[in-house]
Structure 1
């Protein structure tokens, strides 16, 4: 009478062992990933310095990084990655009691037509500034006060800078950037000082936090078509590798990084394989910017 039950138990045990064996056989190797993934990985490097704040490597969006900045299928994986990412970029605020606005390097202007110009002088002489005419000192004062209302008061104005961009300061407000540009160019030509107190928001990379991130994650720069390429996606889907995704803003050529935890065998193997296939580690690149 017990025979059917025994057969049932043995059958279930056999099925379990078969599934485990199949799972073991499905494990992939670093060599398999490196040879199978066919992607043109982007090269991480600083873009040529631009007068346009957003056209440089822009990590401002990583300051106080919100949880929803990461994408991926599993909330726990995104939360784990967020814990290591949230402090890698921060801001330092300091004031300069006397700063000559003629030394402003660039502007923070979201205007596609302006991106072709690579100096404030070029912008001021373009069609964008056709209606901002400065011929006399009276015109200059009028335009300057449109850009900075009550210019002669001691209220500090805001500038942006980043540790990897050297001592280059950018006008922070987007509003009235064209008026400010024309006023600065006129002041440079006429050698008119534009001294003002300024409040500088400087974006900085945290070297120690980056080092901790590197210990725990592969942070790999991926091409845009990666998420449509089966040679890569098969590892994320078929093996349920834990991961998260995060955009990095790099001028007109944004990239996305893939975060793979090193403590998980599958994700660590995938990370090592992608490195062999040519993927660049974004953490290594960011660490070079802290030196």
Structure 2
């Protein structure tokens, strides 16, 4: 019976065997792993998306699509270029034109709220003091508020909407001005059962499965607390090993402000990445895989009913 061919060894294991033969880096890699796993840093879990009507309250992964090359820092330009290419493959987007979308289906806004509070739905935001100033009492007031937020809507000017697979089924208006007027108009339309159909360009952002797999195959992608870059032991580890790396300021959370990318094909970098994970560093790939994924928006989905208000 013919035996199956043995699998090809990985590049890392091949390099490790060569290192052992010549007595070079196997010991150094083991020491790097031990030093990294023993680091005492304030690692914190990456925050999971919470229901919010504001687009920027969630993980802003869509920014990776247009990530400037200069956004990454690190000692070697070639390493940064490879890391940049890997990150820009994580997200893809598609845009579709819809002839008619019910205003009542839109439940998200661009930007942030002025009070810094996250709201789970349009109605909660429309009840705030800032929104009460809009004062929609009649249908005429409704048209005025909607026209303030969407100039030209009555002439068929398309509205720009977006959604992201990791933010659930929520449709977000892309506008960032007059958000109080827009929120009040949506809430009033729902309350009164007003059907207002608008043409819309919907941009859909999604995690690219192949891109996530490629990142996992090529890199340890871990988030580091801001304190790491002033920690004597961590910085000594990077300097002593001269390990190639790339780093990116990705998260607004001060506890996890940097993404660190270490190439798995380089034995010492791979060892440090494994050690940091043992020390408690959050794994970006695992985080991405745990994010919720949804089907794209389809015209004809039911609008929220006023009975749920």
Q: Same fold (TM over 0.5)?
A: yes
Change (3 A) 1:116 1:290: closer
* 41-50 or 56-65, larger mean C-alpha shift: 41-50
Residue of structure 1 equivalent to 2:160: 158
Q: Give how far 1:114 is off.
A: 4.7
3-state SS of paired residue (1:110): coil
Deviation at 1:76, TM superposition (A): 2.3
**Once the 2 structures are TM-superposed, how far is the Cα of residue 94 of structure 1 from its aligned partner?**
1.2
- 2:259 aligns with 257
Return the alpha-carbon distance in structure 2 between the equivalents of residues 253 and 108 of structure 1.
25
Quick one: distance in 2 between partners of 1:267 and 1:251? 26
Contact 1:78 1:244 in 2 (8 A): yes
What residue ranges of structure 2 are gaps of 5+ in the alignment? Answer: 1-22, 294-309
Counterpart-to-counterpart distance in 2, 1:139 and 1:252: 43
Deviation (angstroms), 1:33? 2.1
Pair 1:124-2:126 in alignment: yes
User: So what's the TM-score if we normalise by structure 1?
Assistant: 0.84
Instruction: Return the index of the structure with the highest Cα Rg.
Output: 1
Residues 253 and 59 of structure 1: is their aligned pair in 2 closer, same or farther, counting only changes over 3 Å?
Answer: farther
Displacement over 4 Å in runs of 4+: 21-27, 250-254
| Mean Cα deviation higher: 68-77 or 250-259 | 250-259
Q: CA deviation at 1:190?
A: 1.2
2:197 matches 1:195: yes
Deviation at 1:142, TM superposition (A): 1.0
Q: Structure 2: how far apart are the matches of 1:251 and 1:118?
A: 20
**In structure 1, how many angstroms separate the alpha carbons of the residues matched to 2:268 and 2:162?**
41
Aligned ranges 1:61-100 → 2 under 5 Å: 61-100=63-102
Contact 1:55 1:252 in 2 (8 A): no
For 2:301, the equivalent position in structure 1 comes to none
**Correspondence for 1:32 among 35, 50, 70:** 35
State the Cα deviation string for residues 223-260 of structure 1 (Å, max 9, x = none).
Answer: 22111112222111222211111233467976421000
Match of 1:247 in 2: 249
Aligned residues: 271
Q: Write out aligned runs for 1:216-227 (5 A).
A: 216-227=218-229
Spell out the pairing of 1:135-284 with structure 2 (5 A cutoff).
135-249=137-251, 255-284=257-286
TM value normalised by structure 2? 0.80
Q: Distance in 1 between matches of 2:32 and 2:253?
A: 36
Q: 1:114 to 1:132 in 2, by over 3 A?
A: farther
